[in-house]
Structure 1
């Protein structure tokens, strides 16, 4: 039983997952700072103030906090997409050369060239007979 647990813990996937969680936590702070320190002041300039729905209630349900969390999630998702995913995909395409024009088709083989000549000759013979 302990041998199986040891194999499970020492697998490479666990280490990869642990590193991803740690980097994700650090990355969360970077994105959170970008939203709170860069985008929210811009939104407050445009809107007059940062919208806060935390006081909204639906009976005993604090719907405003849920609305704030949802809007915050959407803003973070937009930031991640437009500031990280889109530039990364563009760089990846540039690096792999997807934006380049495709290479010209390869030269036909000698057999194909010979067959084309034979077809052309047969067409000429047929046109001369008519």
Structure 2
């Protein structure tokens, strides 16, 4: 079993996947910083919400101290709709998805087109051959 595991790990696909996961995690950190530290403060400035847009919320039920942070409102037992956190996560997703799209698009341009499969007989031709063989 140990040799089988070594063979599995030594495959190029597994190593490529491991490298991809590590680079993806690092890239995710960069995108999170871009969103949290660059994009969201600009959105908050434009919408008049102050600097920390990710802690914006609406109290659905319960009581929260006026001007309390999201964490303080939750600690006070208020049921909150944390739309700022959702918007931040959504922007992170869109940036990551677009970056992956660009990478895959460029990789597809660099890769040679797959070889066309040799054209064989159609299903109708195969069925006709089988019919003829059965008649003999």
Between Structure 1 and Structure 2, the one with more helix by share is 1
1:78 corresponds to 2:94: yes
Aligned in 2, Cα 1:63/1:4: closer, same or farther, shift over 3 Å?
farther
Aligned in 2, Cα 1:64/1:81: closer, same or farther, shift over 3 Å?
same
Cα deviation per residue 1:63-111 (whole Å; 9 max; x = unaligned)? 556x5543322111222345x357x38x85xx68xxxxxxxxxxxxxxx
Aligned in 2, Cα 1:68/1:44: closer, same or farther, shift over 3 Å?
closer
The alpha-carbon deviation at position 39 of structure 1 amounts to: 0.4
* Aligned residue pair count: 90
1:44 corresponds to 2:44: yes
Look up the match of 1:32: 32
Cα deviation per residue 1:9-67 (whole Å; 9 max; x = unaligned)? 1111110011001111111121112101210111121122233233555xx796556x5
Between Structure 1 and Structure 2, the one with more strand by share is 2
Higher Cα radius of gyration: 1
Higher relative contact order (CA 8 A, sep 6+): 2
- Conserved 8 A contact 2:40-2:88: no
Contiguous gaps of at least 5 residues in structure 2: 58-69, 111-136
1:5 and 1:62 map into 2 onto residues whose CA distance is 49
* TM-score, scaled to structure 2: 0.50
* TM-score, scaled to structure 1: 0.51
**Pairwise CA RMSD of aligned residues?**
3.4
Aligned in 2, Cα 1:81/1:13: closer, same or farther, shift over 3 Å?
closer
